[in-house]
């Protein structure tokens, strides 16, 4: 809930402070630096040390940063540079949170249930995606961004308390201490990269998410522009757009959780992301809020192809001792998502938000068509 509320709150805050579409992209782009520099270290840390400890520490830090932001807003001291600094620090925290938290799912269930477990996790995640943005939009429109950040801080602190109650022994390091001492952090990182490249299924999943992260998903960076200036529905409307996307993602997550390993995952990954791009083009030129809501729901269905489904493939085909590192590489693609956010912000300033989003998405769709043609191994993943 806290994470998805921030998608609305941070964008709305920086747009209120600067009235700049370019800075909407820049505040996302600043978060690329920690993912670029720290993701390899975070992946190795998840394979060498207690995953539970890393999740607890990261969640507490996130809650603290949200609380600080709320205080700055309530005291009228908030400046654009505060938004950038907290975005950067939050990205540092997320880098270490994500590999450990994702790997804990695999630690919790037998291998035969992994696809279903990741699908179930995606269901809960998308339930939050369906409600968090709408809640944030309502809170902003009634009480302002400061109150929204306060609620986000409470959610993260509650999550920290509940995570501390989980069994520590189940989520200890998959590498024993002797093996960890033999291998340096640098060697551990390189071995993770080698494995990810050599394993066809892992490599294909990462290529799919790279294309989606760079060309399709960044359109959401411009949602404040679409909501305020093109559709004229304000922060509450932006929240409902993201909620509609979450409802669609929730539906496809339920399918993954129910059907599990019986799906042709390769075809769904490639086809879902290709359709994603086409839908974003149509959304970019939609003049009606109701049509935009419907398109966002279908986009949400396709979005799972670039996230939960790819993560399922990567975790299924990665042994426990490599899982933290392969997940870190998966999340490292957020660098491209953030760079895509910067790029679409620049293009929006030059040619307008609709044309910028449409052009980038069509490039992504063409890339997926090329992947289908030149990489038969990717479309044959089961």
Contact yes or no for 90/65 (Cβ under 8 A): yes
**pLDDT tens, 191-224?**
777 887 888 788 888 888 888 888 888 888 788 8
pTM: 0.68
Contact yes or no for 277/361 (Cβ under 8 A): yes
Helices (H), 30-144: 32-48, 51-74, 80-108, 114-142
pLDDT for 96: 85
Distance CA 10, CA 16 (A): 10
pLDDT at position 180 over 70:
no
The average pLDDT across 329-337 equals: 75
pLDDT at position 21 over 80:
no
> What three-state secondary structure class fits 218?
helix
**pLDDT tens, 113-138?**
777 787 788 778 777 877 887 788 88
Distance CA 296, CA 293 (A): 5
Distance of CA 381 to the CA centre of its chain: 23
Give me the percent of the chain exceeding a pLDDT of 70.
91
The average pLDDT across 350-365 equals: 88
pLDDT for 23: 79
Distance CA 110, CA 88 (A): 36
Distance CA 358, CA 284 (A): 6
Q: Which of 57-61, 249-253, 352-356 has the lowest mean pLDDT?
A: 249-253
Confidence band for 177, pLDDT divided at 50, 70 and 90: very low
Cα radius of gyration (the chain):
20
Confidence band for 171, pLDDT divided at 50, 70 and 90: low
* Domains defined for the chain, CATH in brackets: 2-164+185-379 (1.20.1250.20)
* Tally of helices (H runs) and strands (E runs) in the chain: 19, 0
pLDDT at position 260 over 70:
no
């Amino acid at each position: 809930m806290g994470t998805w509320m921030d998608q609305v709150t941070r964008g709305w805050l920086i747009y209120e402070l600067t009235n700049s579409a370019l800075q909407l992209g820049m505040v996302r782009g600043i978060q690329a630096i920690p993912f670029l520099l720290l993701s390899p270290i975070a992946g190795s840390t998840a394979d060498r040390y207690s995953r539970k400890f890393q999740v607890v520490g990261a969640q507490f830090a996130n809650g603290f940063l949200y609380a600080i932001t709320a205080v700055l807003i309530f005291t009228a001291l908030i400046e654009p540079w505060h938004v950038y600094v907290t975005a950067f620090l939050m990205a540092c925290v997320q880098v270490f949170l994500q590999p450990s938290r994702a790997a804990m799912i695999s630690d919790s269930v037998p291998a035969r249930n992994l696809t279903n477990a990741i699908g179930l996790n995606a269901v809960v995640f998308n339930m939050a995606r369906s409600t968090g943005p709408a809640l944030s939009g309502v809170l902003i429109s009634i009480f302002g961004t400061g109150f929204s950040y306060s609620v986000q801080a409470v959610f993260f602190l509650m999550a920290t308390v509940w995570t501390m109650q989980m069994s520590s022994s189940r989520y200890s390091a998959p590498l024993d201490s002797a093996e960890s001492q033999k291998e340096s952090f640098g060697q551990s990182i390189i071995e993770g990269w080698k494995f990810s490249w050599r394993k066809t299924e892992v490599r294909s999943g990462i290529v799919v998410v790279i294309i989606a992260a760079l060309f399709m998903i960044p359109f959401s960076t411009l949602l404040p522009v679409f909501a305020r200036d093109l559709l004229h529905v304000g922060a509450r409307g932006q929240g409902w757009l993201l909620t509609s996307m979450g409802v669609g993602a929730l539906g496809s997550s339920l399918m993954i959780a129910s059907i599990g390993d019986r799906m042709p995952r390769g075809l769904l990954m490639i086809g879902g992301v290709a359709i994603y791009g086409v839908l974003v083009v149509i959304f970019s030129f939609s003049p009606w809020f109701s049509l935009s809501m419907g398109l966002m729901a279908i986009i949400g269905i396709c979005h799972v192809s670039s996230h939960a489904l790819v993560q399922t493939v990567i975790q299924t085909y990665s042994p426990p001792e490599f899982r933290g590192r392969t997940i870190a590489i998966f999340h490292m693609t957020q660098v491209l998502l953030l760079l895509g956010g910067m790029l679409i912000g620049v293009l929006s300033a030059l040619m307008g938000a609709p044309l910028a989003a449409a052009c980038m998405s069509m490039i992504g769709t063409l890339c997926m068509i090329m992947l289908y043609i030149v990489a038969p191994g990717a479309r044959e993943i089961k």
